[in-house]
Chain A
């Protein structure tokens, strides 16, 4: 295998999985620059460790898990929680709260932004990545019960924050 063909394969892999990974990183951190860095770092870790990943879903799986772990690590150590909230709420405000629909969107963003990082990660994996409880437990390395509990708590807090009654 020549170096250039390996390089092309790497570029193709990055182009295929990078955009999804970037969106996930952005939802978890709320920081554009940080999410770009996280994706590169996660890609280095996964592509560098797994030399023979034949199945695309395996690569995507490990990349997603690495993104979540890196994001949690950054949020824990660098305390960028406030930046997250500011970024998300700011982007909603920037869009203009000009109608009841926009006001609701803004309120939902604000509610998501104010969740603790662990609960936000569960919400993103459940409502954006559409993962099952077991998949979320595996991505986060938590027991299944903790996922169910965090998801329930996050939903309860969001419902309370939004004052929603059906």
Chain B
């Protein structure tokens, strides 16, 4: 059977061919267009006249709304453990881990949509990828000095950046530009962009091996160019190697801590890729549709979060030594509003998965899973539209961003209890924590 995306593209093409013929533009429509244009010109003339007369128009529209729950101590001291949360209104909000307080948000610029963040291993700089409004979607990466929480001059990258990763030595950040089918390397020492590297069609995520030698970019393909691939990039020369084909449309990638295998979760299976030879091994059928993947710190088990239809959300453990699937664990009744996410504590004892809260419409929860026994613990209700989860390096707290609620919920991992949500402004999404 043809791949699902090819079938959908073909069906929509056929259907579009059945659309009616374009009717002529009616005289009434022409009149309405002319009237609107005249009104627009008249309005612009009035604005110019008013401004030249010194009238301030719409000053209230320029006033920035007060940010809720901002700590008066807005300047972080050097390398205090901090979580950086990307917001929907072009901001990055630092959260001080020790006190669970939001600091003053860092503004990226008007009408910018932040979408991905990565922090250098030394914790000194956070790199935030964002894009401007359409149709150009001009992409930039803003370095943020974490000692002072100040934004440095943005680095121009390709259009519509959607993912970012930094090499373990902290020297290069790689930014994925989905509309341009490229990856832009940034030298962190000088914050300058190097020439973009062409990868497969519609790249969407990136992961770098622990030795820093290879970056793997998953590409989902476009309607014209369908192949689903993972493209390896040799970081020493910043050159793309031959793409490795995987089965379905890839959604997520994770690399084992020993760097030997990259696991690519697509919409029907998980494909292990041997990094030494860049060859795809036999796909692992998880029998459900994986949306996210994470690997334990000891590298022994990979966990996929899956959509299981009427059975809700499941987590499937995969034994990496044999690439075999263990019994799936049911973690939630229905799919959360956003894509489910998973994070594993540094000691590997617990995996935290975002799910829908049982019995509560539009309310999300986090379900802890004891990895030793593959058992789900009672879900912890968080906020609405939960979309990202990150765990502090000491493993004591998991933070969950709630896009619809505009909050971040800290979870104490020792007791698996939610703390008071932290207000961070509109639409928080991605997040990263300093080491």
Give chain A's interface residues, CB within 8 Å of chain B: 6-7, 10-11, 14-15, 18-19, 22-27, 32, 35-36, 39-40, 43-45, 47-49, 51, 57-58, 61, 65, 88, 91, 104-105, 108-109, 112, 123-124, 127-128, 130, 132-135, 137-139, 143-146, 148-149, 152-153, 155-156, 158-160, 162, 164-166
Contacts and interface: CB of A to CB of B under 8 A. Distances in A.
Interface string B1-41: 10111011111111110111011011001101111110011
Contacts of A139: 134
Given A138-B137, A166-B269, A128 B4 contact: no
B365 interface: no
A65 B134 CA distance: 10
A104 to B, nearest CB: 7
Contacts of A61: 134-135
14 contacts: A23-B16, A40-B26, A45-B36, A108-B7, A108-B8, A130-B223, A133-B204, A134-B160, A134-B178, A145-B387, A145-B403, A152-B267, A155-B4, A156-B267
Given A22-B19, A105-B11, A159-B268, A152 B4 contact: no
Contacts of B3: 166
B202 interface: yes
Contacts of A158: 4, 8
Interface of B: 1, 3-5, 7-16, 18-20, 22-23, 25-26, 29-30, 32-37, 40-41, 88, 113, 115, 131, 133-135, 137, 160, 162, 178-179, 202, 204, 222-224, 247-249, 251, 267-269, 289, 291, 307, 309, 335-339, 387, 403, 427, 429
Given A43-B29, A105-B11, A127-B12, A18 B22 contact: yes
* Shortest Cβ-Cβ A-B pairs, 4 listed: A48-B36, A26-B19, A61-B135, A138-B134
Q: Is the interface of A mostly helix, strand, loop or mixed?
A: helix
A96 to B, nearest CB: 13
A18 B22 CA distance: 7
A137 B131 CA distance: 12
Nearest to A137: B113
A83 to B, nearest CB: 15
Given A143-B403, A159-B268, A26 B131 contact: no
Nearest to B2: A104
Given A108-B7, A149-B338, A26 B12 contact: no
Nearest to B401: A145
B26 A128 contact: no
Given A104-B7, A128-B9, A152-B291, A91 B18 contact: yes
Nearest to B267: A155
A47 B33 contact: yes
Contacts of A162: 4, 7
Contacts of A58: 135
A156 B23 contact: no
A51 B44 CA distance: 11
Nearest to B41: A51
Contacts of A65: 134
Contacts of B34: 6, 48
A84 B357 CA distance: 33
Contact of A109 (B11, B25, B224, B337): B11
A105 to B, nearest CB: 6
Contacts of A149: 336-339, 387
Given A19-B22, A138-B137, A152-B307, 13 more contacts: A26-B15, A36-B20, A43-B33, A51-B41, A108-B7, A132-B202, A135-B160, A135-B179, A146-B403, A155-B4, A155-B289, A158-B8, A166-B247
B289 A156 contact: yes
Given A149-B339, A165-B268, A144 B8 contact: no
B204 A134 contact: no
Contacts of B133: 138
A91 B18 CA distance: 9
Contacts of B291: 152
Contacts of B251: 152
A65 B11 CA distance: 22
A123 B26 contact: no
Most buried by A among B19, B29, B289, B338: B19
Contacts of A159: 4, 267-268, 289
Nearest to A65: B134
A23 B18 CA distance: 8
Contacts of A32: 19-20
Most buried by B among A58, A123, A145: A145
A105 B14 contact: yes
B223 A128 contact: yes
A166 to B, nearest CB: 5
B37 to A, nearest CB: 5
A41 to B, nearest CB: 8
B30 A10 contact: yes
Contacts of A51: 37, 40-41
Contacts of B40: 48-49, 51
Nearest to A130: B223
Contacts of B29: 40, 43-44
Given A88-B15, A133-B204, A143-B403, A44 B222 contact: no
